[in-house]
Structure 1
């Protein structure tokens, strides 16, 4: 075996073994050929540790930072073990579900299915994926035709189980991918219901996740038998290939900051993460007005729209993908140079997953986070999680914002002022009163009417007794017409 010689801390040569190769594993030539077609020759650390354990038949708890090849670490050995059931029969009965892979999001389920199909393409093993947001009928038809490997989101799999579209009584392998995320979004009851439909015999269960919390360990103790812990990185560690930068900005300058960083660093394509679905839609429209090819990805979009946005982004037809945390896991974009956190994530663990979209499979990448004064607590949570001191950087923006001006230019205001001073004075308001009739300036005086109105003449006169009792200082009441509320009351 060839070795690589490096200089140690003392300056003495140190021999470091190169990464192990896939062709050193006891894998079928069909699988090795498929792996070679993907351009893979050597294994990542999680693959080198997990694949032999899975091939041995033991349950596994696999922990590795995102982007290190966890999908291949569990799918390749499972396909190897299922090759003994491989057959070319057209009968659905000869292709029962033997492996179930559960994923928390539609995007991750679709991504895992694409990888598994690529590894199984030279075999007769059938692979299918089911998730919500799309019509169940085509999925049901595919399931009834027979599949060996079923990748699913928990909710949609339960729908097919209740509709009797699939039978899981011959399942031998179960994989919980991104199990921490499934617990975060409340899938524990669904997981328990699904696992209750599976045979409890010699079932091999694999649990893979980027992070391990106490809840995950309790789940593992309930459903895994004497699992072997496979851990190749400190929990919640960020990939060493990702450069992390934090910029102190105001809310109003966030979009301009991203535009400047894109321009200064000549970044052709990137993902911009935000915390809300409405914010993602609005920001995408703003970047469109800036002349960038932009697509939005969030939970309010239909699954068909989400898949089209992803396909366009992977094909290079979109410059910026503005997304919520639905894109923080399961997106495998080759050679993605940069990730922006337009909003600091509410959950510090989501920061690890967001920046894991770049710097994948050994490639380098940069993650840039925009921080405001209100984000101090969230940044402190990230520091605590990744155990690194975060240094905020100032960024100087080009002063290209339109300035507010008065309604009239200064020159015009000065010209109007000078012309007004040179013009003859207008007559004062008091001078204009000389031509007015002085009658209209007198105070109002009711005066005495010459004669009473007709209705007053016809009204009965006031009794003398009543008039005698009235004080001479009290003016008698004025009579009011009956139509206006006057007259005697009945």
Structure 2
């Protein structure tokens, strides 16, 4: 036994160059114990690895039939984006990886360069993002900075091809108005679409507070939301709107992204966005999850160029939101009175919260940056104003969940206005 072991040991230690032609076949025919043991160990390792790791999923490719992007289960918007990028058909890695990734399962892909790896993971990421929009969604790690830029460009190319599209359930309109009567037209829209929930987008923090105070002076349940509010106050305002305790949310672009509020019926762009892409984010707050919705953009004589950029990005012209001018202008007197009330209340806010540290100095802060989430406590200005019409505030009761306090008095004003005519010195009849 010892001699045999020494022979086998010698054979294992002898290099291939030292073996003769006669010894090589003999070694192949009679492997030593150590080689047999090594082979058995390798087999055991392979079996254990096979049992530990999950079985790879294979996708049926329907024979030789060429698969389309739609066949992989991608969102229709992404299918159109791929067509616009001249991606005619999915590659092999994309055919196998995309359906698995869309299901939310883990995928490990190994393929040569230039075979479509980026699209294999970028498309499922964008597919999931379209289903559930969020501000921060995915992290892509790359070994080099240059590759990160390259992958980023492909993501941007896919987004540019589809991000300026809106859902079919969204009805979009524009309303051309003189900037002087902007508040009047806003109140008219709220009156005409009474019973819906509104998100009104304004350009500045101060405007959100001022507009909310004006609408409250008319008895409307409005609440502001802007970036100068503390986080707690922002959440409180948002929760009131989500809980339907407030039917009107007036916000800056801080609420244009990432918020999922299913019951938003109408979006009003009170101030047109400076950046055209912000329009898509704003109107995306309504018509979500298959529901219908409306978006109305108010365009003044100073906003024409900005509005034309939006239409250019959308690739279509929006219809005009029709409204009777006589009915709108009948609201002018009441809105003007509400504006005066809002201005006084805004001054009250500045007086009460205008200076840090109280008496003796400090820096003055705007009313918009105060600690009050919706300024409901500040009604002192309304008490100083004369009540509008007989019975004071009795004309402003909300009946049946609709804003009849606006409808009925204003309808009477409209009828009296349209039936009366006055003449100016030039002889022109003015209605």
Name the TM tier (shorter chain).
0.3 to 0.5
TM-score by length of 1: 0.40
Higher Rg: 1
Structure having the larger proportion of residues in strand? 1
Structure having the larger proportion of residues in helix? 2
